[in-house]
Amino acid sequence: MRDFQDKVAVVTGAASGIGRAMAECFARAGMKVVLADIEEAALTQASDELGAQGFDNLAIRTDVGREEEVRALADKTLDEFGAVDVLCNNAGVFSAGLAWQTPRQDYQWLMDVNVWGVIHGVRVFVPIMLGQDSPAHIVNTASMAGVTNGPMTAVYYMTKHAVVGYSEALYHDLTSTGSRIGVSVLCPELIDTRIGEARRNRPRDLAGFDFTSPERELVETTLRTLAPTTGIAPAVIAERVLQAIRDEKFYILSDDGWRRSCEVRLEDIRLGRNPTLSIPAEAVGAEGDDT
């Protein structure tokens, strides 16, 4: 897909971080943008700021974990703009802790947003895109955590691996049926976003905040500390996404230590050896080789 002028992009998790950056990047490329997010005040602010720059946009509060809200998002998008050309299933949340200690509520929350949010987006929007019979593109946001692995963040790693595998299967489904819809899976490294504060949008029925552990505190504190100091600017990721759509490129990967950790994992699989602990230095705020 190379022509972006007057096309329509739907971005979930668009009130902040990577989603907000993608929305602005698409708008600057000439697209009409639909911003979806569960955080209503931040969503309104993002929409107002894009509108002040003269960009045509629509803000729709959406809980991507609820299929009916994603269907409402699609309906309102079609009512306003008449089409959907780019879909970014980008909304995501984070929590940490040892696999056996992590509360069921954490598993449910991350599955609802990180996995079901993508599934709902695909099931709702792909039939619309197929019916348009014109070039379109889907970007599913995973993480470099989706192609690596490590300790103390089992639920997050699990959900992001699911997004990578689902996106690969979606790519094969669409290409094997002759579709005109391209697919990319976005695997960002450490980014300067507020994902370390994701609990601000956690549903009340999945609270579970009475749980704490040294491992949980270590990972979440490290993330909140490193993201604003060493994290990549979201705008950099947004430009990667735009270029990947132009180039019909599937894997959008980091080129830093996370990429090397991915290569170590792939070599583990190739050789059939036990998993190697390969944590990028930038993930722990250290200098030097991966450990």
Tens of pLDDT along 153-212?
999 999 999 999 999 999 999 999 999 999 999 999 888 887 767 667 777 777 655 678
DSSP state at residue 193: S
Give the strands of the sheet with 181-187, arranged side by side: 57-61, 32-37, 8-12, 86-89, 136-141, 181-187, 251-253
Rounded CA gap, 111 and 10, in Å? 21
Outline where DSSP puts E strands in 79-192. 86-89, 136-141, 181-187
Catalytic residue (one of 156, 157, 166, 171): 156
List pLDDT tens digits, range 231-290.
Answer: 889 999 999 999 999 999 999 999 878 999 999 999 999 999 999 999 887 776 544 333
Rounded CA gap, 80 and 94, in Å? 32
Q: What CATH superfamily classification does 8-256 receive?
A: NAD(P)-binding Rossmann-like Domain (3.40.50.720)
pLDDT of residue 153: 94
Provide the 10 A C-beta neighbour count for residue 203.
15
The H or E element spanning position 41 is helix 40-52
Active site residue 156: yes
HSE on the CB side for 107, CA within 13 Å? 8
